[in-house]
């Protein structure tokens, strides 16, 4: 007959054996959870390569392409100007900005022209200067009907006389 003392030894031995078997062959996720891994290199220790600068070739734009770009921008600015011109909520700063942008692009177009086309473009630039001077007056003294008429005439002249195809022979080479 087995004494109760011997039964306790057997049960304890069995539990010890189960624990040892489980510890040695336990599931991988449990082992992974309780094992330490070495830390990887910190961000300070990582190697950061120094890249050699790449020099890009300068984009050479032909006078015809430059003129087309200026002309396209003038068309866009005129469209924007007609959207906001003379609105009662007052967009005079925006109007003046757009007119100044048109002036700068007309100057760019003028720089690419030669001969009589250049003289006509300079006269057009002078007319645009008068429109800019009209914006120096206070808003109450400004006559939008005169300004609108001047801008409409300037726009027509640009579209008629200064199309890229019309001035192709007068461009600098």
The answer to the question of residue 87 being in a domain is yes
Closest by CA to 152, choosing from 116, 128, 118, is 128
Closest by CA to 127, choosing from 105, 85, 155, is 155
Give the number of domains in the chain: 2
Looking at residue 49, its pLDDT comes to 79
Question: pTM of the predicted model, to two decimals?
Answer: 0.65
Region 109-120: what's the mean pLDDT? Answer: 92
Range of the domain at 21: 4-33
| 119 and 68 housed in the same domain | yes
Please, which residues bridge with residue 113 across strands?
171
CA dist., res. 33 & res. 38, Å (int): 14
Question: Rg of the chain's alpha carbons, rounded to an integer?
Answer: 41
The answer to the question of residue 49 being in a domain is no
Q: Residue 113, SS3? A: strand
| 75-86 residue pLDDT tens | 999 999 999 886
The answer to the question of residue 92 being in a domain is yes
Region 147-162: what's the mean pLDDT? Answer: 93
Instruction: Output 113 or 7, whichever has higher pLDDT.
Output: 113
Which residue is it, tokens 């990887």? 40
Angle separating helix axes 144-161 and 63-84, nearest 10 degrees: 150
Q: Tokens at residue 20, please? A: 């040892």
CA–CA–CA angle 94, 143, 71 (5° rounding):
45
Region 159-163: what's the mean pLDDT? Answer: 93
Angle separating helix axes 115-134 and 144-161, nearest 10 degrees: 160
Angle separating helix axes 63-84 and 92-111, nearest 10 degrees: 160
| 70 and 147 housed in the same domain | yes
């Amino acid at each position: 007959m087995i004494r109760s003392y011997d039964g306790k030894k057997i049960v304890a031995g069995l539990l010890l054996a189960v624990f040892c078997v489980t510890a040695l062959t336990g599931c991988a996720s449990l082992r992974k959870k309780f094992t330490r891994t070495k830390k990887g290199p910190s961000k300070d220790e990582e190697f950061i390569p120094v890249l050699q600068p790449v020099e890009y070739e300068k984009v050479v734009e032909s006078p015809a392409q430059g003129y087309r770009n200026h002309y396209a921008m003038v068309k866009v600015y005129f469209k924007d100007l007609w959207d906001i011109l003379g609105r009662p909520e007052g967009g005079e700063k925006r109007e003046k900005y757009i007119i100044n942008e048109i002036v700068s692009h007309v100057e760019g177009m003028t720089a690419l022209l030669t001969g009589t086309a250049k003289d006509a473009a300079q006269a057009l630039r002078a007319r645009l200067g008068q429109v800019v001077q009209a914006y120096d007056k206070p808003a109450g003294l400004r006559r939008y009907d005169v300004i609108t008429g001047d801008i409409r005439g300037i726009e027509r002249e640009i579209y008629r006389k200064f199309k890229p195809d019309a001035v192709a022979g007068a461009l600098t080479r």
